[in-house]
Chains A and B, each alone.
Chain A
């Protein structure tokens, strides 16, 4: 009898130990956990509510399908052909209002780029690719991707750029022109938005109490 109790105890302890081991060290690292427990998320949280007010269009780039903001509706003077009713070449030198005076091209250098690198003088409602094909203004990322292919890769995957709203699916990403001005795509130098005076006091005169 005594022996049996002992054996039962041992078995119990073994099971206990086994169970607790399993529970505790299921994964060795966060990476394992992510890979083993991951599955496409179809939970309660979505960005639908947050995206309600934005005009979006669905695009497929490579193996990624997601939404980007619609562009044409955001451009004040679209459609361009309302003024550009003739090819640019013919409009040059004509009397009339001087337009687009505020646009200064600060994108690469003048040897490489001018207006017509991207705009099609014959068809102002569309953009123009390097091979003279039309690109819809809503899909301007295609134009950018011709040169900035590594940024394009990152953007497709989500490493470059911002989301329109939340993290939850469906994915809606800002497109290039939502952050970069295509005529001057670089970010300006500026002052940081804040400075922590307390921290400065603490560090430099930290002993003056």
Chain B
């Protein structure tokens, strides 16, 4: 890791051990990686290992599994001791008699995660470091693996989005695809996308529109208009953030470092498009519904008290895929692509259709256009 950091960090001398762990494919600290040596089948062994290590824990869901593992009194005491010892600056090797390796590793990960820096300012190695820690932490707590990546913005790519008002029928497949893809909190039913049902002949009267309808669609005499984060080129939310926890990436995505956000909600007040969501309580997703293909800036598990928002599915778009809403749309009303590529379909739409954006007079330069057939 680089010495020239812009934030405070502490090395507890466990990095060596961690590297050794990382090199092992299955990621287990103790014993051999090769489970075939035992007489149990791989699956049975896996089950047994999970039962032994976490027991009831794996039936719990979402963020709880990551950061809020229930402990019996002994574990809690051990953990407390460990943190106290670490906190007092005790040499970590000296306490190996008191606590086992896993607890120590957990404490080390928690410590490093608490005091890591802003993702925006990290080098690529540091980014890799933090996603390795997060993946390891998830594994330690739940016994399951997630795959998290940290792809940076590609060169010559600027993401843009177009929405065909005459095509959208209000089926809301995009909304549920988005929720499933991005691991949004199920308890509060958080949704990034809103579909507004507007009356024909009234223009864009959002206050008369219904964005939570439940009847057969398309309803007679109505049209539908979707909104989400518009990834403004001149985003007011980024300006106001006191800690630069949200910023515009090179490919135009406006992203949030969930671990750097202090939860002041100033960005929420500054957004003219209702693009941002706040985790008022601990987000929860049932274990079997968790999307395990994650990106640090995208759909990884959030914690309570931080902002989140649409990232144009950064975990998909930076792999060349379309965002989940585009893929799920049954009517082809959603068009996504590279604004810098003159051959892209989004550029054809901008050049050949009558496009407009919402609240253009605010000067926010959204990269989200509307058009009609």
Q: B176 near A160 (CB under 8 angstroms)?
A: no
Q: Which residues of A does B touch, CB under 8 Å?
A: 29-30, 33-34, 37-41, 43-47, 49-50, 150-151, 154, 157-163, 165-169, 171, 173-174, 179, 187, 189-200, 203
Q: A193 near B349 (CB under 8 angstroms)?
A: no
What are the nearest 4 A-B pairs in CB distance? A158-B345, A168-B320, A41-B341, A157-B348
- In the bound complex, CA of A191 to CA of B216 (Å): 4
What 0/1 pattern do residues 332 to 373 of B give for CB contact below 8 A with A? 100111111111111111101100000000000101000101
Which chain A residues lie closer than 8 Å to B329 at the CB level?
162
B233 within 8 A of A: yes
Q: A167 near B373 (CB under 8 angstroms)?
A: no
Q: B335 near A159 (CB under 8 angstroms)?
A: yes
- In the bound complex, CA of A154 to CA of B169 (Å): 18
B173 within 8 A of A: yes
Q: Which residues of B does A touch, CB under 8 Å?
A: 154-158, 160, 162, 164, 167, 169-173, 175-176, 188-189, 191, 211-218, 233, 316-322, 326, 329-332, 335-350, 352-353, 365, 367, 371, 373
Q: A159 near B349 (CB under 8 angstroms)?
A: yes
Which partner residue on chain A sits nearest B363 by CB separation? Answer: A29
Q: A187 near B214 (CB under 8 angstroms)?
A: no
- In the bound complex, CA of A161 to CA of B353 (Å): 15
Which chain A residues lie closer than 8 Å to B367 at the CB level?
30
User: Shortest beta-carbon distance, A110 to chain B, in Å?
Assistant: 25
Given contacts A167-B321, A192-B171, A194-B172, contact A41 B156 (CB under 8 A): yes
- In the bound complex, CA of A195 to CA of B215 (Å): 10
Given contacts A157-B345, A187-B331, contact A166 B156 (CB under 8 A): no
Q: Could you write out 21 A-B pairs with CB less than 8 Å apart?
A: A29-B233, A29-B365, A39-B156, A43-B154, A44-B154, A45-B320, A158-B345, A158-B346, A161-B332, A163-B322, A166-B319, A166-B322, A167-B320, A167-B346, A173-B345, A174-B332, A187-B330, A191-B215, A194-B175, A197-B189, A203-B212
- In the bound complex, CA of A170 to CA of B59 (Å): 43
Which chain B residues lie closer than 8 Å to A38 at the CB level?
339-342, 347
- In the bound complex, CA of A150 to CA of B316 (Å): 32
Q: B338 near A41 (CB under 8 angstroms)?
A: yes
Which chain A residues lie closer than 8 Å to B211 at the CB level?
199
Secondary structure call for the B interface: loop
Given contacts A30-B367, A33-B233, A199-B189, contact A190 B349 (CB under 8 A): no
Which chain B residues lie closer than 8 Å to A47 at the CB level?
320
The answer, among B319, B330, B340, B346, for a CB contact under 8 Å with A37, is B340
The answer, among B173, B326, B332, for a CB contact under 8 Å with A179, is B332
- In the bound complex, CA of A133 to CA of B158 (Å): 44
Which chain B residues lie closer than 8 Å to A34 at the CB level?
158, 160, 339-340, 347, 350
Q: A196 near B191 (CB under 8 angstroms)?
A: yes
Given contacts A41-B156, A45-B157, A192-B172, contact A158 B342 (CB under 8 A): no
- In the bound complex, CA of A41 to CA of B336 (Å): 15
User: Shortest beta-carbon distance, B195 to chain A, in Å?
Assistant: 8
- In the bound complex, CA of A38 to CA of B175 (Å): 31
Most chain-B CB neighbours within 10 Å: which of A158, A174, A192? A192
User: Shortest beta-carbon distance, B31 to chain A, in Å?
Assistant: 36
Which chain A residues lie closer than 8 Å to B373 at the CB level?
150-151, 154, 159-160
- In the bound complex, CA of A150 to CA of B373 (Å): 9
Q: A166 near B320 (CB under 8 angstroms)?
A: yes
Which chain B residues lie closer than 8 Å to A200 at the CB level?
212
Which chain A residues lie closer than 8 Å to B156 at the CB level?
39, 41, 43
The answer, among B175, B233, B316, for a CB contact under 8 Å with A193, is B175
Which chain A residues lie closer than 8 Å to B154 at the CB level?
43-45
User: Shortest beta-carbon distance, A167 to chain B, in Å?
Assistant: 4
Which chain B residues lie closer than 8 Å to A192 at the CB level?
170-172, 213-214, 217
User: Shortest beta-carbon distance, A136 to chain B, in Å?
Assistant: 24
Q: B212 near A199 (CB under 8 angstroms)?
A: yes
